Amino acid sequence: MNRPWLSSLSACLAGVLCLASPAHADLVLGMHPFKPATRLVEAFTPLTQYLSARLGEPVRLHIARDYQEHIDATAIGRYDFAYMGPSLYVQLRSLHGARPLLARQQIGNSPVFRGKIFVRADSPVKRLDELAGKRFAFSDPRSTMGHLVPRHMLWQAGVRVEQFAAHKFVGDHLNIALGVLAGEFDAGAVKEDVYYQYEKRGLRALATSAPISDHLFVASHRMKPAQVQQLRALLLGMHQDAEGRAALHAITAGISALVPVEDSDYDSLRAVMQTLQELGVRI
Amino acid sequence: MAHSDLHRRLNRRALLVFVLALALLVTATGVVVGMLQGRFLRVESQTRFLTELGLLGELSVEPLLRSDYTTVERLIESWVQRRPEPLQVTAITPNGFVLASAQNRESVENSLAVDLPVTFDDTTLLTLQAVTDVSAREKAVTTIALNVALTAALLVTLLGWVMWGILQRIALRPLEIEITAREQKEHELRLRTAELETALRELETFSYSVSHDLRAPLRAIDGFSLVIEEDYAQALDAEGRNYLARMRAAAQRMGELIDDLLELARTSHRALQPVETDLGALAVESFKHLAQQEPQRQVGCVVADGLVAKVDVALMRIALDNLLGNAWKYSARNPDARIEFGARAENGETVYYVCDNGTGFDMRYADKLFKPFHRLHGSDFPGAGIGLALVQRIVQRHGGRIWAKSAPGMGACFHFTLGGAPAPAPPAASATAGLS
């Protein structure tokens, strides 16, 4: 019987125990809380099982309490490898230097993804510049499509956060969509797969972001090169067997494969974040 | 035996009716109890459901305040899936958006709809609309009511059956045995009574026939004796005439005996014709007749007033003639003879009495008083000894009884009743002492 809460709890406890112990036998996959923990456990458990079977040692999942903890844990090597959002990676790279890159996800045939700024379908707002004076929902200050990219889009449209009647960081992207639908917020920004998930329930997009290189797997700098190589090869070859494809689809339905990744793939995002920092946005 | 079967059937039927009525009563009570229990269960179940739904609402407040809608979604979905009864819960935000809608079964047949607003600080954050299926609960309630009723009926039936067994063993069976024995005795008694009645009738018929048939030759003896006495008396010497006279006296005596026997037989055969009669008047007539026969005697005769009874006049006249005649006869040697006819109420019935202050008799021979041709005084007093037997027969034919109290030289009292009531205790001696 599936017990997501119990799995989540055990995963978190395992993670805490893992972090409390300096030496551990299991490989730990770190995760930032871009979705509810239960859904993350459901989404990534097939992957950890897949890797455990092929690496010959257990792979456990750890979900960070917030994005900052995720960056910190990845930076100091508490995770053996981490699944990261693009902005987190850019920040990790910027603050802590290069880390071995393993692979990035490819949805459909594209290794990039977009974000949406949206309102309720019955909203009178038609353009981004009409959002001034409205209530706006972001996910996390370090979220690529839940804050950084849309905030850059808003700036380009001439709307500053200070002009909102209110704005709030509500955690995962689903809460943004639901918060707008529930009437708590007038508008919000999410990555496009979340938007399409809720569009039929009454959302309307105002703008779509430029493509940003998608989520990626980053290895700890403590991981031995051979192990990095083995892990990278495993990830990049997952789409070639059914079990691998099933594990990929569990992460996000549209993932077709994990593909090679370069640091330069995130230059466009790096530019966005640079602009925002210059505007005084704390990232 | 037929009566026993009837009793048994009646008892069984009565018990069956009783058990059925009890079963119906208990079943009805069971149904009522079941309904009340069902109502209690409904209220309790609804209250519990509302409480648990309220708890879900309370759990939703915190994530709602954090704009954590997905947690609320998961809470509702998880709560609904874990509920045992069919249930559908819809969470609606204040702007009408359906935040979550979870259902654990396809069909909700017998539904109970509840709207529960989730509020914080007087602000409605969410409204939980729950539709739950109460058909299982209703079935459970019906099942409980039926079980209670059926169990009660079964228990009562079982109890009735056990009671019937016990009742049969400890009460009905001995009763039936006793009834059967009594019926057997009654049957035997009836047979014996019938036999006795037949024998008595035959005897009376025989007596009547014999008496009647004896009269003719007796008349011939008496008649020819008279002819001899009248026409041939000179041919006889004094001794022959004496013999002839004694022969005639004996023949006449025999005639009287036959007359008495015939009277006794007629009394037994004759149908009663009871009418309201003044017994006192009959007694007075009788006294007059006695005084005419013996005008030289001075007898104090006392007759009470108001001695009215429904009797056969002719028979009662005979009875009183005999009783008063006896008293008259046996008080002849008392120069201050006194005879009293009266009545008194005793134990709810009227007891008549005829008392005299004559010679009386010894109570040791009282059982012979009413037997025909038995005489306590031998030839000291005239009579055939049939009178009191005749009186007893007449009194018994009126449904009464007769008895006597006396002592030698102290007079006698004859008491009789004319009703069908059972014999009372003998009258107290003091009631007659003053008259004896």
A9-24 tens-digit pLDDT: 444 444 443 443 434 4
Q: Taking residues A108-121, what's their average pLDDT?
A: 94
Helices (H), chain A: 4-20, 37-55, 67-75, 86-96, 149-156, 173-181, 192-199, 225-236, 242-251, 267-278
DSSP string for A225-273: HHHHHHHHHHHHTGGGSHHHHHHHHHH-TTEEEEE---GGGGHHHHHHH
* pLDDT tens digits, A139-153: 988 889 999 999 999
Residue B431 reports pLDDT greater than 50: no
Q: Do A182 and B68 touch (CB under 8 A)?
A: no
Nearest-Å Rg of the Cα atoms of chain A is 19
pLDDT given for residue B119 in this prediction: 92
Contacts of B98 in chain A (CB under 8 A): 201
Q: For B84, phi and psi rounded to 5 degrees?
A: -75, -30
Contacts of B95 in chain A (CB under 8 A): 182-183
pLDDT given for residue B23 in this prediction: 73
- Helices B2-65 and B135-167 cross at an angle (nearest 10°) of 160
Say if residues B129 and B113 touch (Cβ distance below 8 Å).
yes
pLDDT given for residue B109 in this prediction: 64
pLDDT given for residue B185 in this prediction: 93
Burial of A116 (0-12, 13-18, 19+ CB in 10 A): buried
Say if residues B349 and B374 touch (Cβ distance below 8 Å).
no
Q: Taking residues B362-367, what's their average pLDDT?
A: 82
Interface residues from chain A to B (CB-CB < 8 Å):
5, 36, 38, 137, 168, 170-172, 174-175, 178-179, 181-185, 201-202
Higher pLDDT: A189 or B360? It is A189
Alpha carbon distance A150, B204 (integer Å): 144
The chain-wide mean pLDDT, for chain B, equals 82
pLDDT given for residue A9 in this prediction: 41
pLDDT given for residue A13 in this prediction: 41
Say if residues A89 and A218 touch (Cβ distance below 8 Å).
yes
Q: Taking residues A166-195, what's their average pLDDT?
A: 94
Q: How confident is the model at residue B435 (pLDDT cuts 50, 70, 90)?
A: very low
Contacts of A183 in chain B (CB under 8 A): 93-95, 97
- The partner residues of A103 in beta bridges, in order of sequence, read A217
Among A72, A67, A197, which Cα is nearest to A138's? Answer: A67
Say if residues B219 and B227 touch (Cβ distance below 8 Å).
no
Higher pLDDT: B398 or B270? It is B398
Q: Is B99 left (phi over 0), alpha (psi -120 to 50) or beta?
A: alpha
pLDDT given for residue A18 in this prediction: 40
Q: What six digits make up the tokens of B13? A: 């039927």
Q: What six digits make up the tokens of B100? A: 């979550």
Residue type, B374: H
**B226-235: which pairs have CB atoms within 8 A and are 24 or more residues apart?**
none
Q: How confident is the model at residue B269 (pLDDT cuts 50, 70, 90)?
A: low
Residue B135 reports pLDDT greater than 80: no
Q: Specify the range with the lowest mean pLDDT, choosing from B138-147, B308-317, B380-389.
A: B380-389
Interface check for B101 against chain A (CB to CB < 8 A): the answer is no
* pLDDT tens digits, A4-59: 344 334 444 444 434 434 344 689 999 998 888 888 999 999 999 999 999 999 99
Residue A180 reports pLDDT greater than 70: yes
Alpha carbon distance A30, A32 (integer Å): 7
* pLDDT tens digits, A92-103: 999 999 999 999
Q: How many CB pairs under 8 A join A and B?
A: 45
pLDDT given for residue B249 in this prediction: 83
Q: Cβ of B196: how many Cβ atoms within 10 Å?
A: 10
Q: How confident is the model at residue B363 (pLDDT cuts 50, 70, 90)?
A: confident
Sign of the CA dihedral with A173 first, then A175, A180, and A181 last: positive
Alpha carbon distance A181, A34 (integer Å): 19
Interface check for B61 against chain A (CB to CB < 8 A): the answer is no
Q: How confident is the model at residue B3 (pLDDT cuts 50, 70, 90)?
A: low
pLDDT given for residue A77 in this prediction: 92
Sequence-ordered strand ranges (E) for B335-425:
338-346, 349-356, 402-406, 412-416
Q: Do A174 and B70 touch (CB under 8 A)?
A: yes
Contacts of B120 in chain A (CB under 8 A): none
| Most confidently predicted of B6-15, B330-339, B375-384 | B330-339
DSSP character for A209?
Answer: P
What torsion do the CA atoms of A34, A39, A42, A44 make, to the nearest 10 degrees? Answer: 0
**B363-370: which pairs have CB atoms within 8 A and are 24 or more residues apart?**
B363/B405, B363/B406, B363/B407, B366/B403, B366/B404, B366/B406, B369/B404, B370/B402
Residue A231 reports pLDDT greater than 70: yes
Sign of the CA dihedral with A116 first, then A120, A121, and A122 last: negative
Q: Are strands A203-208 and A115-120 parallel, antiparallel or unpaired?
A: antiparallel
Alpha carbon distance A152, A162 (integer Å): 14
- The partner residues of B138 in beta bridges, in order of sequence, read none
Q: Do B69 and A175 touch (CB under 8 A)?
A: yes
Chain position carrying tokens 């021979």? B365
Q: Specify the range with the lowest mean pLDDT, choosing from A13-27, B40-54, B191-205, B279-293.
A: A13-27
Q: How confident is the model at residue A124 (pLDDT cuts 50, 70, 90)?
A: very high
Alpha carbon distance B321, B288 (integer Å): 11
Taking the CA of residue B113 and the nearest CA in chain A, the distance in Å comes to 23
- The partner residues of B413 in beta bridges, in order of sequence, read B355, B405
Q: Residue A118 contacts by C-beta under 8 Å, 6 or more apart in sequence?
A: A177, A180, A187, A188, A189, A190, A195, A199, A203, A204, A205, A206
Exposure string of B320-334, with b = 16+ CB inside 10 Å and e = fewer, is bbbbbbbbbbbbeee
Among A9, B312, B116, B97, which Cα is nearest to B320's? Answer: B312
Q: Taking residues A157-168, what's their average pLDDT?
A: 95
Among B75, B74, B71, B70, which Cα is nearest to B52's? Answer: B75
Residue A165 reports pLDDT greater than 90: yes
Alpha carbon distance A265, B243 (integer Å): 186
Q: How confident is the model at residue B150 (pLDDT cuts 50, 70, 90)?
A: confident
pLDDT given for residue B256 in this prediction: 76
Q: Specify the range with the lowest mean pLDDT, choosing from A51-60, A114-123, B97-106, B208-217.
A: B208-217
Alpha carbon distance B377, B358 (integer Å): 12
Q: How confident is the model at residue B386 (pLDDT cuts 50, 70, 90)?
A: confident
pLDDT given for residue B425 in this prediction: 32
pLDDT given for residue B250 in this prediction: 83
Chain position carrying tokens 């009191």? B388
Q: Taking residues A223-229, what's their average pLDDT?
A: 94
Q: Do A181 and B73 touch (CB under 8 A)?
A: no
Residue B382 reports pLDDT greater than 80: no
Higher pLDDT: B111 or B230? It is B230
pLDDT given for residue B158 in this prediction: 84
Q: Do A202 and B95 touch (CB under 8 A)?
A: no
The chain-wide mean pLDDT, for chain A, equals 89
Alpha carbon distance A65, A70 (integer Å): 8
Element (H, E) at B243: helix B238-269
pLDDT given for residue B46 in this prediction: 81
Q: Taking residues B283-300, what's their average pLDDT?
A: 90
Q: Cβ of B376: how many Cβ atoms within 10 Å?
A: 20
Give how far the C-alpha of residue B344 lies from the chain's centroid of Cα atoms, to the nearest Å. 29
Say if residues B360 and B327 touch (Cβ distance below 8 Å).
no
Among A278, A277, A233, which Cα is nearest to A259's? Answer: A233
Q: What six digits make up the tokens of B254? A: 């025999």
Residue type, B391: V
